[in-house]
Structures are given as structure tokens and as C-alpha cells.
A and B are shown apart, each in its own frame.
Chain A
Amino acid sequence: KAGVTQTPRYLIKTRGQQVTLSCSPISGHRSVSWYQQTPGQGLQFLFEYFSETQRNKGNFPGRFSGRQFSNSRSEMNVSTLELGDSALYLCASRYSSGANVLTFGAGSRLTVL
């Protein structure tokens, strides 16, 4: 069974640009969550999508957005990039209801210059 796949793995952008990250969940997983990981703040929840609907959102500005497609693949977008957006962006998928046991991808490392 293929794991969670994230693309691209690494990218460099400049301030003011926008970026789109992609995530393919494990087959059969309908829930996709996104997290931001930085050395200072650790892992922080961005949002969760289930059946193409955003069900939960973390405390991030509106520059951070996402969507989910009918095949459960998800994308997140960050507009008007700031230096502080440099981070590892992790996507995770899960199958069942109840406990949130997540399977994470390897992440997309974003550097903003």
C-alpha cells in the first residue's frame, strides 16, 4: 500500500510569491490534514478536509488555504509568502472515525527568501 505522497519535497520562493503544495493520501483514506512544523512552534494544525469539505481549521491567517478533490487528493496554498512561512509542511491522512491516528507524508520543505 503506497503511503502519503507529498510534492514537491523542497522548494524555494521569495517574499510575496505564492505556493501550492500537493498531497496524495493513502488509498481509501478520506480525511486529509495539514500541519506546519517549525523549530520554534513545533507541529501546528492548519486544517482538515473530509469528502471535499473543510471540517476544521487552525489559527492561521487567511493566506493559508486548501482544498480537497473528489479522489481525496488535497492541495494547500499559501499566498503572499512571508519569511516566517519557511517551514516543513506535512500532510497526513486517516481512515476511520474516532481516534485521529494519522499517517504522515515526508513533507514539503519550503524556504522563503
Chain B
Amino acid sequence: GAGVSQSPRYKVAKRGQDVALRCDPISGHVSLFWYQQALGQGPEFLTYFQNEAQLDKSGLPSDRFFAERPEGSVSTLKIQRTQQEDSAVYLCASSLVGLGFYEQYFGPGTRLTVT
């Protein structure tokens, strides 16, 4: 498909489990963003890649969160030892170039529920 895809769409994890969320950006898009969105709220920035370089990870809430994009395409957001407060929708977006007024194309998100 031509859009951003994310998998899985839904993930239920028991507290303490590790999870890995995958993002496939639009082919050729240089920039990739991860966001966390609580129900009915706006997305909150987590981290940003330009190609394989992680240029900003200031939004990651704790050292249990880790993101990578080793080949400058697919990205994985990993959460270790999940806690209930990690329950949210995790959105991935890609953009042809970097920050600014370029359009970000969003995936459908992964809804993570930690029980």
C-alpha cells in the first residue's frame, strides 16, 4: 500500500512484559516520528528520526522506551517492563523531509492496553 502502516493494530500486554511496535513509513520518506496519544487528547511527541539517525528523543517518557530505525526505513518502538500508564495509542508518521511545514502522513496507530 502507499500509506504508513503499523503493526500490530492492537496489543494487550500484562504489566511487566516487553512490547515491540512496528512502523512501515511511506517509501522514500526521510523523516519518521513517533507519538503517544491518550483517548480524546492530542498526540504527544516521543521521538524523531531523519533516515537512520535519531535526532530527537526528548519526548520518550522513561528509559523503558527505546526506538530504532536501523536502515532508515522501518522503525520499531520498544517498551520494556510495561506499566499501566503506558496504555495509549502509539502513532507513527512519516514525512518527505524534516520538521517544518511539510505534511506528515500518519499510520492508523497501535492501541496498547497494559493489564
Q: Tell whether A and B belong to one assembly.
A: no
